Structure 1
Amino acid sequence: MIKKLLLTLLLFFNASIVLAQFDNISIIGQFTNWNADVPMNTTDGITYTLTSQNFAVSGGAKFRKDNNWDTNWGSTTFPSGTASQGGQDIPVPMGTYDIVFNKDTGTYTFTTVASQFDNIGIIGAFNEWTESIQMVTFDGILYTLDDFQFTANNVKFRKDNSWDVNWGGNTFPSGEAIPNGGDIPLTSGFYNVAFNYSGPNYSFIQVPVTILGNGAQGWETDIAMPSTDGGVTFLLENFTLSNGFVKFRANGSWARNWGSADFPSGVGSQNGADIPTTSGLYNISFNRLTGAYNFEEVLNVVETNKSEVKVYPNPTRNVWSFSNNNTIESLEIVDVTGKIVYSNLFNAYEISIDATNFSNGIYFAKIKAENVNQTIKLVRN
């Protein structure tokens, strides 16, 4: 019995030594919200593999050693490339992949794993009705296509790239998917597309473009930029910047982001440099097709009867009080996504807004007073 126990311990000890000979290499990224590493397998300490790994969202990914950032590899190309130490995030689309990474050379490949579910795609005037664009699914029910540009109107869904089984609809941006129905009256633009096979129904959501960085409200807070042309050009008015850096990105993900070293205007490139900012009040415009952006400073006319609106307490749990030497005419409060959560007209020097019905977080008050148009950051805690 003792000999058997000693033999078992010896085998375990030897196996531990063998395992300890190889570096611990893993992959991390947007698919784990950057807070969990997925370990990769190796038999020689050089080539590391991972099979059938789901990426439920599109976004950046990197390889790294020992679950920390001291040694990490990245690149800007997909599905294959050569990763460099401290390189950019690898832009991985949503899907399921077999992954191979060579620790010594930095070379990597992502190979799409064939799905066991029905093949559902989308076709339309944007590709002259020639071949379906395959959608992604993890359960055979919900099929998605992220951040896709439709350059012409009207689309349909179909199975197996064939007209034998197809769906249309008569409403947009969402509605019932009708077998052999008419063309869905899509308006060209950038959309996140969802098709529910069990419904069946569909939805098209315009891809949001946001600005973020320590020159705005931090690298963890995306500020939505409104668009009126299908998600091509964006304009954020009367926004306060501080000295720091910002970038533009789509879908709140680093898979598609734009930056440049120029300020107040320039042309952003994919995975470009952080844009340096100077404190002030700006109208910010961005074109995601060309990458062109402009920070137009809002210059206030100095008048003898002009004064800034003041707010207190801020942060607050109960109430925000606003005061000005001149009449406050209107006040609008928006959240960080740009959604209006409060709006009212006034004719007073002082007003109070009940904050108890607001969730904890950051808001922006857009105030119009006599000779004053001002945006103030609010915090509810």
Structure 2
Amino acid sequence: MKKILLSSLLLLVCHIHYAQVISIIGSTSPAGNWSTDIDMATTDNITYTLTNVNLTTATDPGTTGLKFRQDHDWAVNWGSANFPMGTAVQNGANIMTQAGTYDITFNRSNGTYTFIPAAQPRVGIWGPAVDSQNGFGGPDVDMTTTDGILYTLSGFYFSSGSAYFRVNDNSTLTYGSVSFPTGTAVEQGPSIQVAGGEWFVTFNRSTGAYSFTYPSIGILGDATSVGWLNDDIDLITTDGFEYTLNDLVLTDGEVKFRKDNLWTTNWGSLGFPQATGIQDGPNIPVTAGTYDVVFQKSTGHYLFTNTLSNPEYSVANVKIHPNPSNAIWNLKHDTTIDAVTLFDASGKIIGNYAPNTTEFQLDGSNLSNGVYFIKINSGRDFSVQKIIRN
């Protein structure tokens, strides 16, 4: 009997002693490098797991991604390019992960693995600013997240009014602050007074930090220094309507404009150096040079002005007075004004005119008080200007 117990104890000790450690390692792991292992848990020395793991996106199959390996040693390692599931093989390719928070499972016997998105709390924006008719009786507008920490909202037009950040549609889990457009929201804090308009919103669920900023407009493509796969080169705006960028160096190739670094909203056209970009339009063919770029978000109009050339027309030769005005704006250009287009603050066209003269009076007596935009076409150029009715 003692011999049997001793043999069993020895087998158990050997099993424990020789239990393999399985880990993930790679540039897209939480450690962010190829030298630090993150050990997985197991109860049977076959199936290994990790929960709530934050991963980044693999961009280069040769240098980025993840692998599984045994006993912190490259002598035994597994990989496969497939994601979020596949069958890893010895010395296989790097696993090309996508950013997110995952529960990871790996089977040491057959190499199968899965990356399952971990359940994340939902965060929405709630209140009259997102539902002017129903107010706090209406639903949230849900934000998006890849890690359950940083949440974003793109492409939403707010009404002027109050709002909270809210977790899982639970009215007792609201976050607010008196600050706008940026601040730090606290649980059960006061409502945020949001100004009407389109905002790109971020909210950090851990710190409460939030921001409402104008949507970003960027340019990218094989004619730029960033190519098609990296973050855009952002243009600058002061009003959320007109975006500009000076001294952009381009090679012969193609570009596009897009909003908030997402392909959800992008503009393109075959016209160059100016045209009206359309949603999901073709890539813009450009000629090598150094350019000042103007883009209007609501209309899609764009203009590339070669800074090394001496163009016949200049968008700077437009004069508008008075501005603000209570009824009439006087427009003057060095050359003939071919067309004037009037837009409201959302970009909707509310008037078209063909002056065919160097001076033109725009009658806004029927307009409500507020901000408007006018596009002035003259020869080969155009200019978009903000006007105010008071």
TM-score range, shorter chain: 0.3 to 0.5
TM-score by length of 2: 0.44
Q: Pick 1 or 2: higher relative contact order, CA cutoff 8 A, min separation 6.
A: 1
Q: Over alpha carbons, which structure has the higher Rg?
A: 2
